[in-house]
Structure 1
Amino acid sequence: MYELVQAVFNGDEKAALHQLIYTLSSSGKCYFLRNEILQAFADYCHQSQKPAYFYYSSSVGKLIQYTHEIILEEESTWFVIRPTIANQEVWQLTADLSRFEQMTPQALLDVRDRSVNRYQPHILEIDLHPFYEGSPRIDDPRNIGQGLAFLNRYLCSQLLTDPQYWVEMLFQALHGLQYDGIRLLLSDRIPSGIQLAKQIKPALKLLSERSPDEPYENFRFELQELGFEPGWGNTAARVSETLELLDRLIYSPEPGILETFVARVPAVFRVVLVSIHGWVGQQDVLGRDETLGQVIYVLEQARSLENELCEQIKLAGLDQLGIKPHVIILTRLIPNCEGTFCNLHLEKVEDTENAWILRVPFGEFNPEITNNWISKFEIWPYLEQFALDAEKELLAQFKVKPNLIIGNYSDGNLVAFLLSRRMKVTQCNIAHSLEKPKYLFSNLYWQDLEEKYHFSAQFTADLISMNAADFIITSSYQEIVGTPDTVGQYESYKCFTMPQLYHVVDGIDLFSPKFNLVPPGVNEDIFFPYSQKENRDFHLVKQIHDLLFSREDPQIFGHLDYPNKRPIFAVDTITSIKNLTGLAECFGKSQALQEHCNLILLSSKLHPHEAINKEEAEEIQKLYNVIDQYNLYGKIRWLGMRIPSSELGEAYRVVADAQGIYVHFARFESFGRSILEAMISGLPTFTTQFGGSLEIIENQENGFNINPTNLEETANQILDFLEKCEAHGEYWHEVSEWMSQRIHHKYNWHLHSNQLLLLAKMFSFWNFVAPENNEARDRYMETLFHLIYKPRVEKILEKHKAG
């Protein structure tokens, strides 16, 4: 980047840069983001009649393409440049254009504070860089999110470099495994790593004399004589394979061998999924709007983890010992539960053997608040005591410590940190959605937003939990580091200011192997292709068809004059970010779309008086205004009701029967559960290009990634698809099939759970062999918790106590 900056600064193009700065300054603003900068530069090129290449290929054009922020001050102009993904540079250009030099992150944070008139000369600086400095680190940004593969390669290289030490560490890790006092894998008959390596050969010889299918119980005692306890496998062939993997790992370590061996190690039996803030129930109690997706995710993950653990226990031969997995979803008990089971202390998860919802109440600081549901933005004062109470409850249920704690969302991740820190258990974080990048300038103006959102507590909690986590799983690569054009959700925590509270100089190492891409699945018993006629209920099909196209109901707005038109279907909550109003406006502005299609919207609410806050009420009213403005009567159906998952699955299929399409029009989407559901049902799906949903549909050449801020372009993309469908009779079916198959093969719960458990085992081993790195880091996190987080949440609690 230095060479590019110098080319601009020392060449003829400096005048163009100067003119751009002058144009920006004449707007009266001082802070500009990427889209504004690109538009201003495009306008400059047009007005100055620059040749076409100048915008992209000139030195100044390239510099502008890399620039994500420009901040204007009286004496200088500041450029935040992102030359590559996960890499940010700060440059200062003096007002007289005499000097263009690279600056520190600290200098940038001071500038940002000055831009909102909240600068102070001495402020707490948070810098996590020293805690990652000596740790193994991914080099290539393209490999970010592939931490497991990196760690496998790293550990194998260590085995080759110092085999004696690492074989001994491997032995100690295996030697320590047990379940309720039952020794697993190794007994004291094998006292060291060297002895373990020697004992494998006689064990393999013994097994070679057995039939491959012979049950483990038949030769258990002979193996125990050699020092090998249960857990290697359920048959002679399985035990032999596992021991051969270990033998190869000791003498010729390779990443694939290590991963396959670790996957077979019986080290995880008890798992806690922490999901706190919203109505964790089953059937028709699947969360409030702000938590619906998370609750469905956690319930399906619990079922999938139990299935995977059962299978692993069986293949390890441990089911014969009565060993069973135990999965607990930890959430809060809500006394005023509005007719649901959310006041039930313990509830079995449907379709499981031993997975449970454990509900722990909040401390009664003010029963009028704590006995009711609490918004995710108000929940922070209760989490520390909740974690202490939950620890006792978990130990009472499990009788011993769990093997893995998985946090969900910011609050669940903080509780996972508190629990794992106290119980010395491997911690996994799943953000689902980080609020900071969703709310533009939310950190810069946090004081103005504090009364409503309490971002100072949330962003601090995020910093603590993401750094304390042993590993983090994300649904998409972009969730971590975005794209060349956009900053990732986790990347937004790398360097930011909370004016007059603290500066984050280095908040997270994006190249850490703790980041791992493990997308969720979709429940294929409920969501399956429309073409699987044999699995569909004829009566339900008719019922849902009537619901979508013709039924009259107080919770349904609009009728369709021509119900046989191709339907455009969308399912989401009514918020400005989810942007159903934007989709309606896109439809309203395009006469061609209206001629070809009807628009069917499914949300949870229909009337402003049903809204839980002012913003939601305004968005509902805005949708009515759009319908009225573009006279969409007879062309739109809006269903404002929550329907069971089984009916939702059929709704996608009924729309597919009519060769409809699905449109996800969110301004930003961290991933998008409904996208998976629609695609696997066989619906050609158009999805927002902003966020992780971009990765679900990889084939961008076909134009299924849309820009919800450009209504005309989106309408043209949909129309282009419709024209192809009309010109080529099989085109709709071809797109339907490849989208369905993509979800089936890549986004399924079996893959998710298998990978998640493998990560848990690998990072547990990593913590075993390198624990000193974590202790200093976790002490630092505790300092942030006690000196920043707790004082912030006490202010929230004071207001709650006052009622």
Structure 2
Amino acid sequence: MYELVPSVLNSEEKNTLRQFISCLGSTGKNYFLRNEILQVFGDYCHQIEKPAYFYHSSSLGALIHYTHEMILEEENTWFVLRPKIGNQEVWRLTADLTQFDLMTPKSLLDVSDRLVNRYQPNILEIDLQPFYQNSPKINDPRNIGQGLTFLNHYLCNQFITEPKYWLELLFKALQKLAYNEIQLLVSDRLSSGIELAKQIKPALNFLNQLPPKEPYAKFRTQLQELGFEPGWGNNAARVRETLELLQRLIDTPQPAILEAFVARIPAVFRVVLISIHGWVAQEDVLGRDETLSQVIYVLEQARSLENKLQQQIKLAGLDSLEIKPHVIILTRLIPNCNDVASPSQGTSCDLPLEKLDNTENAWILRVPFRGFNPEITDNWISKFEIWPYLETFTIDAEKELLTQFKGKPNLIIGNYSDGNLVAALLSRRLKVTQCNIAHSLEKPKYLFSNLYWQDLEDKYHFSAQFTADLISMNAADFIITSSYQEIVGTPDSMGQYESYKCFTMPELYHVIDGIDLCSSKFNMIPPGVSENIFFPYSQTEKRNAKQTQNIRNLLFTHQNEYIIGHLEHPHKRPIFALTPITSIKNITGLAECFGQSQALQDRCNLILLTSKLHPDTATNLEEATEIQKLHQIINQYNLNDKIRWLSMRLPSRDIGECYRIIADNQGIFVHFARFESFGRSILEAMISGLPTFATQFGGALEIIENHGNGFYINPMDLAGAANKIVEFVHKCDTKTEYWHEISQSMIQRIRHKYTWDSHTNQLLLLAKIFSFWNFVEPEDNEARDRYMETLFHLVFKPRAESILNKMA
């Protein structure tokens, strides 16, 4: 930027810049985001007949393309530039275009406050940078989100630099591993890392004399005499391999060896997954619309974790000691748990303890909110209203967890903002490794939500939520994201976590530096999809003929009060969408896209599956508005004979069959959201064999990346989106095998990258590595956590209490 800016101001382009700023000012606005800036600049270049290269390749064009925000004041123009991913610069240009100065983040926050007439000279400033400055840092932005790989390399380098010191740390870390009263791996016969290293060779000599499949129980005593306790393996071959890995790690530390060794260490037995507000149940009623994806994610993750822990315990030879994994999903108990949308569908959300289906020792533990106001706490509470109850919930949940586990968990996993805050509080109290998962943060979803938080406070309570996010993401030992874009976005857009780097909450606080995006705590581990439920349409042997026929009738012909529309030509290629009705999910945009395109209507039918059909069934004003808008679009474009709008909550197995039936008819799946952090339904549709078109805004870019730009759609460009779908349909009509080729490639994409087995392996490896990291580098964490406690008590609690006072 230091070279680019002078090249503009010292050339003829200076006058063009002045005129462009004047064009922005003529709109009557003062604050502009990137899309608006590019649109106005493009229109201006066209108006003054600049050649095409000027828009893209001139110095001014480059400057404008790096600009993500602009603020116009009478005396200055402010540019927020993003020269590279994860990096932001603030520049101030004087009105006479003579000075272009690099400014501090604080100056940008001050001018933002002035913009909304809420500037105050003395305001709380939150700066987390000091707690990260001495931590190892990822320097290459392309490697952000690969914290495990980075930390493995870093630790191996430390082993090489100071081998004796790090051998001693490794020994102490292994020595503290135990399950209840059972000592694991290293006994008190060994008193140092050097002794441990010396005993490996005689242990290997002994093991080499045994048959490879000799059960551990038959030679346990001999290994204990050498100082080795249970946990190295279930037979002679496995124990030998694990000790050989340790020997190689000591002799020649390498990241691959470290990872392989740590993966075998039995350090995780008890795991708690936290999903507070999600109406967590099983089978028919999995969750409310706003939390359905989260609940399914947590249930599948819990099953996968228990299964993987069983495997690891068995391979470590610990099953013979009656050691078993114990997984708990922690949520809230809801006394009045009938589904208001479908009163006949009760749930088990009033049960304190419920066994998780298809598991041996995984449970849903429900702890009630304390009854500050039973009229509220006995019922479901929206995610926006839940904040006042979380601290006391944490205290009560801690007691229940310790009782159920008969000890402390080894790993606490939070989900979403509220679950992550509880995870942070529990982790602090129990001194347990904390993992954060928040695939969908609210702050980047709602434009200017921080700037206008006071205007939105009664409805959304963002002051509590954004503060909770800051606390939990910084308190977390590691953070799991589904995609790179969740962290730092793309060259054209800011990432979800990046949006917490620097922002203002006018008259409440300024965040000068809210999170270190280059920290090793960020790790990309995409979720999987359950192939027991969602599997390719071509696997006919796994499908139930009666179920298939019932779902086919439901999708195409059946009529009842929960279905609108009939298909005049049911054999047209179906376009299928399944989504909650929210402005973000934008199902109304898809309907309008279909309604405006005669070419789409000529070739396709549109089938929509939601949970609501009429405004009077909506749970909030936004939902009611979107439902009403969808009715208006259907009437406006006369779509009743080209659309099927089904309003019902189907069990997951029926939803899986919906995808497959659409695939039977060589249809497509469309995800038309204005923004989607990841998109569970995209995975489900693709594994079912459906060619999938998904929004270009968010994590879907990484899911379908190998299909190129052809399957990304801009939900703001209705004509362009329609043209992409029509083009695909035309190719399918003219080339017999094209649909099948795309279908098969979609299936392979998911099977290659998005599996629960891979997800769980990486998750447990992260838990073990970061537990070791916290053991060897605890000092900065303690200071950081004290800072988080201060934010909790002095900022979050007053905001949460104000919500409770308004409800009283």
Does TM, scored on the shorter chain, surpass 0.5? yes
What is the match of residue 418 of structure 1?
Answer: 425
**C-alpha separation between the residues in 2 aligned to 1:6 and 1:211?**
75
| Aligned mates of 1:203, 1:8 — CA distance in 2 | 71
Q: Is 2:674 the counterpart of 1:667?
A: yes
For the residue of structure 2 that corresponds to 1:570, the secondary structure is strand
CA distance in 2, matches of 1:750, 1:553: 41
SS of the residue corresponding to residue 472 of structure 1 reads strand
Q: Distance in 1 between matches of 2:10 and 2:238?
A: 68
| Counterpart check, 1:587 vs 2:594 | yes
Q: Which of 788, 792, 801 is matched with 2:795 structurally? A: 788
Tell me, in whole angstroms, the C-alpha distance in 1 between the residues paired with 2:262 and 2:765.
7
1:721-736 equivalences in 2 (<5 Å): 721-736=728-743
* Alignment-derived partner of residue 684 in structure 2: 677
Aligned counterpart, 1:212: 212
The residue that corresponds to 2:343 in the other structure is none
Give ranges in structure 2 of 5+ residues lacking alignment: 339-345
Task: State the match for 2:628 in structure 1.
Answer: 621
Q: Deviations over 1:490-520 (max 9, x none)?
A: 0000000000000000000000000000111
Aligned AA (1:341): S
Is 1:779 aligned with 2:790?
no
The 3-state SS of whatever aligns with 2:449 is coil
CA distance in 2, matches of 1:516, 1:701: 25
| 1:256-655 to 2 correspondences below 5 Å | 256-338=256-338, 339-655=346-662
What amino acid is aligned across from residue 53 of structure 1 in structure 2?
A: Y
Return the alpha-carbon distance in structure 2 between the equivalents of residues 355 and 81 of structure 1. Answer: 48
Render the CA deviation track for 1:60-111: whole Å, top value 9, x for unaligned: 0000000000000011000000000000000000011111111000000001
Partner Cα distance (1:230, 1:701) in 2 = 50
Cα distance in 1 between the residues matched to 2:398 and 2:454? 34
Q: d(CA) in 2 for partners of 1:89 and 1:614?
A: 39
Counterpart of 2:102?
Answer: 102
TM-score, scaled relative to structure 1: 0.99
Partner of 1:82: 82
Give the corresponding residue for 2:770. Answer: 763
Cα distance in 2, alignment partners of residues 654 and 279 from structure 1? 29
- Give me the whole-angstrom Cα distance separating, in 2, the residues matched to 1:516 and 1:684: 29
Residue 200 of structure 1: how far off its partner (Å): 0.4
Determine whether 1:5 maps to 2:5: yes
Aligned residues with identical type, % of pairs? 74
* Offset, 1:166: 0.4
1:356-393 Cα deviation digits (max 9, x unpaired): 00000111111101111110000000000000000000
Looking at structure 2, the residues matched to 334 and 90 of structure 1 have their Cα atoms a distance apart, in angstroms, of: 48
CA distance in 1, matches of 2:314, 2:379: 42
Aligned amino acid, residue 576 of structure 2: F
Q: Distance in 1 between matches of 2:582 and 2:521?
A: 33
Deviations 1:326-380 (A, max 9, x none): 0000000111111321111100000000000000011111110111111000000
Equivalent runs, 1:161-200 vs 2, <5 Å: 161-200=161-200
- Aligned residue for 1:708, secondary structure, equals coil
Kindly state the Cα deviation for residue 726 of structure 1 after the two structures are TM-superposed.
1.5
| Mapped partners of 1:270, 1:178: distance in 2 | 12
Q: Distance in 1 between matches of 2:709 and 2:738?
A: 12
| Distance (Å, rounded) in 2 between the aligned partners of 1:494 and 1:211 | 57
Structure 2: distance between partners of 1:666 and 1:498: 27
Cα distance per residue 1:777-803 (max 9 Å; x no partner): 000000000000001111111122x2x
Matches within 5 A, 1:218-257: 218-257=218-257
The CA deviation string for residues 601-645 of structure 1, in whole angstroms up to 9 with x for no partner, is: 000111111100111111001001011111112100000100111
State the match for 1:49 in structure 2: 49
Deviation at 1:474, TM superposition (A): 0.4
1:118 deviation in Å? 0.5
CA distance, structure 2, for counterparts of residue 633 and residue 346 of structure 1: 46
Residue 35 of structure 1 aligns with an amino acid whose one-letter code is N
Secondary structure of the corresponding residue to residue 705 of structure 2: coil
The one-letter amino acid paired with 2:571 is N
Give the C-alpha shift of residue 649 in structure 1: 0.5
1:415-444 CA-partner distances (Å, limit 9, x unpaired): 000000000000000012100000000000
Kindly state the Cα deviation for residue 278 of structure 1 after the two structures are TM-superposed.
Answer: 2.2
Cα distance in structure 2, aligned partners of 1:391 and 1:10: 64
2:208 maps to a residue whose letter is: S
> What residue in structure 2 maps to residue 744 of structure 1?
751
1:633-682 superposed Cα distances (whole Å, 9 cap, x missing partner): 21000001001111110010000000000000000001101000000000
CA distance in structure 1 between the aligned counterparts of 2:676 and 2:397, rounded to whole angstroms: 32
Greater shift, 593-602 or 336-345, is seen at 336-345
C-alpha distance in structure 2 between counterparts of 1:203 and 1:760, whole Å: 28
Q: Secondary structure at the match of 2:780?
A: helix
Separation in 2, partners of 1:65, 1:378 = 39
1:427 aligned counterpart, secondary structure: strand
Paired residue type of 1:289: D
* Partner of residue 39, structure 1: 39
Per the alignment, residue 66 of structure 1 pairs with 66
Do 2:439 and 2:486's aligned partners in 1 also have CA atoms closer than 8 Å?
A: no
Give, in whole Å, the separation in 1 of the partners of 2:337 and 2:49: 66
Aligned length: 801
Equivalent residue letter for 1:636:
I
Matched position secondary structure for 1:562: coil
Inter-partner Cα distance in structure 1 for 2:8 and 2:302: 56
Query: How far apart are the structure 1 equivalents of 2:617 and 2:284?
Result: 18
TM norm structure 2: 0.99
Q: Tell me the distance in 1 between the aligned counterparts of 2:286 and 2:595.
A: 33
Q: CA deviation at 1:16?
A: 1.1
- Other-structure match for 1:202: 202
Q: Counterparts of 2:15 and 2:248 in 1: how far apart (Å)?
A: 65
Q: For the residues of structure 2 that align with 1:738 and 1:28, how far apart are their CA atoms?
A: 49
- Local SS of the residue matching 2:3: helix
> How big is the shift at 1:702?
5.3
1:701 deviates by 2.8
Structure 2 CA distance, aligned partners of 1:701 and 1:185? 49
Of residues 719, 727, 747, the one that matches 2:726 is: 719
Higher mean displacement: 33-42 or 335-344: 335-344
SS at match of 2:279: coil
- What is the CA distance between 1:10 and its match in structure 2? 1.5
- The 1-side partners of 2:490 and 2:707 are apart by 14
Residue 453 of structure 1, CA deviation = 0.4
2: distance between equivalents of 1:336 and 1:398?
Answer: 27
Displacement of 1:700 after TM fit? Answer: 4.6
- Contact kept, 8 Å, 2:689 with 2:743, in 1: the verdict is yes
Deviations 1:752-777 (A, max 9, x none): 11110000000000000000010000
CA distance in 1, matches of 2:211, 2:14: 79
Cα deviation, residue 190, structure 1: 1.2
Q: Measure, in 2, the Cα distance between the counterparts of 1:213 and 1:735.
A: 46
**Does the 8 Å contact 2:486/2:699 carry over to 1?**
yes
